Every structure is written in structure tokens, then in C-alpha cells.
């Protein structure tokens, strides 16, 4: 007898869409079993889920450090991006047909210590990585996709400082910490 395994959620995006739709109907996260997802989603990994409605950003939330299987991280972050990003109103049923979702799986962030600001600018210009910065306990992250909107490294850094609640030129000060990472989609 031949058994055929049928996956309910073959992609990260199908799983995140299901989580959002389920939450909209039931006001709770769905219970998804490990065997319902592609085995590539079983590994421990962290992700950011970005939701767009009619091409406009409506939420982006994620985790930096992997603490759970990727499929569980996707479900949690899809729901949070769609309904709990404080910058936007929650997604509603009428917007579902206009919803697009991007799931970015993060590599483990690596500590980056530039020699000086010129070294930092050159590295960012060449590599265009995802970046986390921290100073005074304030931390912010930009995914590598942000480079599509903010082309200049100095502007990228200034916007990231503002996101962290810092002066936009804080990136030039001593004591700033940086971590770089990549994403897979």
C-alpha cells in the first residue's frame, strides 16, 4: 500500500495567510500540527512577517532570535503583524482579497564592529545587510529589503536611529553596537 503525504501548508506564505484568516474568524491562533507543514518549516528559526494591503505596508513584526520551530514563529508573527503593529489599524475581512504577505527568515545576527564611520558606511554600501543597532538600551532593526527604499547608508542609519528613539546622528557616536544579518524568503 502506498501512502501519500499531503501537506496542508506547503509554503511560509500559505501558513501565514491561514493564521491571519483563522484569527480574524476565531480571535485566537490556530493549532497547527508539525505534520501539517512543509518539513523545512520544522527547524528552529526566527522570522519577520510583513503584511501589505493593496501594496501598502500594514504591519511588520518578528523575532530576532530563534526560540521555536519556524512554523510556530510564522503563525505568531503573522497574527501580530496583521493585528498588533501599533503603527497601523488591524486588518479587517474586507481587506483580505488585497492582502499580500512576505515572510523573511533571519540568519543568526553577527556582531559587527566597524573601525570608524567610514568603515561602517563602506560595509553597508557594499553588503546591504539587515541591520540591528543598539545604544542606551534602545534597539531597532531594519530588514535588508529597506535598502530598496533608503539607498544611502547614512540615511539608512539615521532612520534606524529614529526608529530606536535615538537622535538621527547617534550612529556616528561611540558606544553604538551593530549586528548584521541576511534573510531568506
Which tops the pLDDT comparison, 57 or 1? 57
Yes or no: say if 52 and 58 are a contact pair by the CB < 8 Å rule.
Answer: yes
Could you tell me the domains of the chain?
A: 12-106 (3.30.700.20), 110-184 (3.30.1490.150)
Instruction: Give yes or no for residue 6 having a pLDDT over 90.
Output: no
Q: Which helix H or strand E contains 112, and what residues bound it?
A: strand 110-112
Q: Is the pLDDT of residue 158 over 60?
A: yes
Give pLDDT, residue 32. Answer: 92
State the pLDDT at residue 12: 96
Q: What was the pLDDT predicted at 2? A: 39
10-67 pLDDT, tens digit each? 899 999 999 999 999 999 999 998 889 988 999 999 999 999 999 999 999 999 999 9
Q: How does residue 8 score in pLDDT terms, banded at 50, 70 and 90?
A: confident
Q: What is the pLDDT of residue 1?
A: 37
CA pair distance 87, 184, nearest whole angstrom: 25
d(CA 77, CA 75): 6
pLDDT at position 7 over 80 = no
Q: Who's near 39: CB < 8 A, 6+ residues apart?
A: none
For residues 70 and 41, the answer to whether their CB atoms sit within 8 Å is yes
Q: CA 11, CA 137: separation in Å to the nearest integer?
A: 36
Instruction: Kindly report, residue by residue over 84-130, the tens digit of the pLDDT.
Output: 999 999 999 999 999 999 999 999 999 999 999 999 999 999 999 99
Q: List 48's β-bridge partners, or say none.
A: 62, 104
Amino acid at each position: 500500500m502506498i501512502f501519500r503525504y499531503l501537506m496542508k501548508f506547503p509554503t511560509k506564505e500559505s501558513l501565514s495567510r491561514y493564521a491571519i484568516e483563522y484569527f480574524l474568524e476565531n480571535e485566537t491562533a490556530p493549532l497547527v500540527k508539525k505534520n501539517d507543514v512543509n518539513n523545512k518549516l520544522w527547524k528552529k528559526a526566527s522570522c519577520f512577517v510583513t503584511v501589505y494591503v493593496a501594496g501598502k505596508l500594514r504591519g511588520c513584526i518578528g523575532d530576532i532570535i530563534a526560540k521555536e520551530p519556524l512554523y510556530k514563529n510564522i503563525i505568531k508573527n503573522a497574527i501580530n503583524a496583521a493585528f498588533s503593529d501599533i503603527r497601523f489599524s488591524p486588518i479587517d475581512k474586507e481587506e483580505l482579497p488585497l492582502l499580500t504577505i512576505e515572510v523573511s527568515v533571519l540568519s543568526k545576527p553577527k556582531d559587527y564592529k566597524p573601525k570608524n564611520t567610514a568603515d561602517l558606511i563602506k560595509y553597508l554600501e557594499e553588503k546591504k545587510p539587515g541591520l540591528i543597532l543598539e545604544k542606551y538600551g534602545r534597539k531597532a532593526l531594519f530588514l535588508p529589503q529597506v535598502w530598496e527604499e533608503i539607498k544611502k547608508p547614512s540615511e539608512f542609519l539615521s532612520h534606524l536611529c529614529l526608529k530606536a528613539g535615538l537622535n538621527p546622528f547617534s550612529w556616528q557616536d561611540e558606544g553604538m553596537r551593530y549586528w548584521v544579518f541576511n534573510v531568506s524568503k
